[in-house]
Amino acid sequence: MAVLDDLSTGRVENLPPQAAFYRLSVTADLDAVFATERPQAVAHQAAQVSVPRSLREPQGDLAVNAGGTLNLLEYARRHGVERFILASSAAVYGEPRYLPLDEEHPVAPLSPYALSKYTAERYCALYRDLHGLSVCILRYANVYGPRQTAHAEGGVVALFAEALARGEAPVIFGDGEQTRDFVHVADVAGANLAAVGAGEGVFNIGTGRATSVNQLWRHLGELAGVSRTPVHRPPRAGDIRDSVFNPERAREVLGWRPRYDLRSGLAAMLAAGQVVRDQDPPKRSIGPPS
C-alpha cells in the first residue's frame, strides 16, 4: 500500500507503518510514484473541501479538485491502473428537490467547491468511456469520526466535540432544526474497500437517516454527561436546509451497509478522544522514499 498526501490537512502519524508514503500533491508530477508502486487501484480522497475557501479562491479550488483528479486519472491511464475510486460529495446535488436523495437526483452545484467535485466526476466518466478505466464514484454524506479536524470550516460533529472538550457552549447557525445524514468514517472506509472489487458508477454513501443539528448536540451532551445551552447565531447564507441519502444502490451493488448508527458512532469517537484542533502542528513529517 502507498499513500500520497501533501499534509496540508493530513497527519503522517495517522498512517499505518507499513505504508509507503510520498509527501506530494495530487497536482504534482507523479510518474515516478506510479512507476515505482504500480498500483492496481487508486482511491482518490484528496480535495480542497472548504466551501468558503472555494468562494474566495475558485481557481485554486478548481486546480486541486478537478485538476488534481485529472492528473491522477492520466497517470492511472499511462500506468495501467485497473480501478479508480473517487471521493465525491453530497454538495453536487445542490438544493434537494426531494428526499431522500438518490443517485438519479438532478445535479445542481451551488458553490465552486460543488462544481469542481462534479467536474472531477465527469472526468472520471470520460476516462471510463475513452480509455476503459473502471471507475467508482462515492458521494459522501456528512462524514464524522476520530481525527476529524475541528475548525471553522470543518464538520459540525468535530466542532461540537471540541466545544465539549473545552467546556464551552456549541454554536448553532439558525434554529438547529436543519437535518443531515451523518456517516462514520469507519463506514466510509468500508465503502472504499467494497468499491475496490465491486460495482461501477455513482453511489451514495450515507446512513439513510436524517438527524437535526439540535438532535446531534443532545446526543453528544447525553453521551458526555453534560448539559449546555447552545449559542444560536443567524443562518449562514447558502446552507442547505435538509439533506439525507438513499444508500440502497451501494447496498445492492457494493454489498455495503453502515455498521454505526449515529449514537454508537459518536460514543466511539468520544471514547477515542482524537478531535484534532486546527492549531495542532503535525508531530513529524516525512518525505517520499528514495
Instruction: List active site positions.
Output: 113
Extract the runs of DSSP E, i.e. beta strands, from 77-209.
83-89, 134-140, 142-144, 149-150, 171-173, 179-180, 182-184, 201-205
Q: Is there a contact between 172 and 231 (Cβ–Cβ < 8 Å)? A: yes
Secondary structure (3-state) at 30:
coil
Give Rg (Cα) of the chain.
Answer: 19
Long-range contacts of 227-231 (CB under 8 A, 24+ apart): 228/163, 228/168, 228/169, 228/170, 229/169, 230/169, 230/170, 230/171, 230/172, 230/176, 231/169, 231/170, 231/171, 231/172
Distance of CA 45 to the CA centre of its chain: 7
What is the C-alpha separation between 162 and 227, in angstroms, rounded? 15
Which cell numbers in the block locate residue 73? 486519472
